[in-house]
Chains A and B, each alone.
Chain A
């Protein structure tokens, strides 16, 4: 509770006016799996995106993907394709679509939808095994999605 409150405060302070224009998960518009519009209107920070992608407690993308640029992160998974060069294969809008909800780009994808809040079967309260409660939130908030997308666009080879 206290943490949530603090987070809202921090968000409000750091994003200022942009906070008001944030696109909530249910309003994101997909075109052929891609999302043209920034979710926040604030440019993503690739450095922060890099941290999110490698952090087990946040994006945890390396659970399924190998990324040479993150060679310092041990134990990278092989369930999904290697992400080296993904920024050359996909446009920024496509990457935003893939990170927000990969199922819009790849049918039945095993990749989780990182910016979605409904349509789940028995959603839980994080990793407790208990049912979800009022604190249920997308896996990544809007600015984190933008940060991750900004990082992915740098992976050109």
Chain B
């Protein structure tokens, strides 16, 4: 009797494990562009993963379908608002982004390489920092709030024109020390629950934590539209939330810690296509 129960339990467990695996599916955007959502692990994580997998594979069918069609993807509405901002003249120089950069399509090569070392400034810059640099120093306009609506909409626009191009952040040379600081944070067990990013996203992706299906915590889909809060979410806000959920004192969006963490996490997804604005639950 007892053995029977054990066999039954084992069967049940196996079933639940299977259903928790990332789904086998292909993301084809608008029936045209195939997006690389899983690929051989890049250098940064070759020792822990065979393959890196987009968070898209860990979501339900309806959520995945929503992202595959621009008309169904609520994130694209915000990318369009970003396009309005792109054309808005602001600041003492009477310029818009378009005055200098013309079409947003000219930015297609940009998102995949950020965060990136900026030689003149002598710092690793996130896309948000670069946008604010143009606003302040080229337009004579006020900086946007790091994860405010305008900024998130602009990053949605810049991600959208890069969809289908592989993430490719540089982690050597002058960016290396920042990358290492990010790695250190990734493996730090924060808060009263003492959980690191790796505890959840490296060691337990594919498993359930309460109602949530743990993914690898990749950021190729950011900013992401979340059904949960019905808005676009910036990557630093996601980091903030994940650290807060370990009952820890979190870091601020735009802080040196999160800039370093972003570079490191991006490098764990080198090779995955940019798919922002993605849809998640």
Contact = CB atoms under 8 A, between A and B. Distances in A.
Most buried by A among B2, B195, B210, B245: B210
B199 interface: yes
Interface in B179-225: 188-195, 199, 203-204, 207-211, 214
Contact of A123 (B195, B211, B247): B247
Interface of B: 2, 5, 9, 13, 16-17, 20, 188-195, 199, 203-204, 207-211, 214, 240, 243-250
Contact of A124 (B2, B5, B13, B248): B248
A121 interface: yes
Interface of A: 56, 60, 62-64, 66, 74-79, 82, 84, 110, 112-113, 120-132, 136, 139, 157
Contacts of B208: 75-79
**What are the 10 A-B residue pairs with the smallest beta carbon separation, nearest first?**
A75-B211, A129-B244, A131-B249, A129-B250, A63-B210, A122-B249, A124-B248, A78-B207, A112-B193, A124-B249
A144 to B, nearest CB: 15
Contact of A112 (B16, B192, B210, B244): B192
Task: Classify the interface of chain A: helix, strand, loop or mixed.
Answer: loop
Nearest to A56: B210
A123 B249 contact: yes
Contact of A84 (B9, B190, B194): B9
Contact of A121 (B188, B199, B207, B244): B188
Contacts of B245: 127
B248 A122 contact: yes
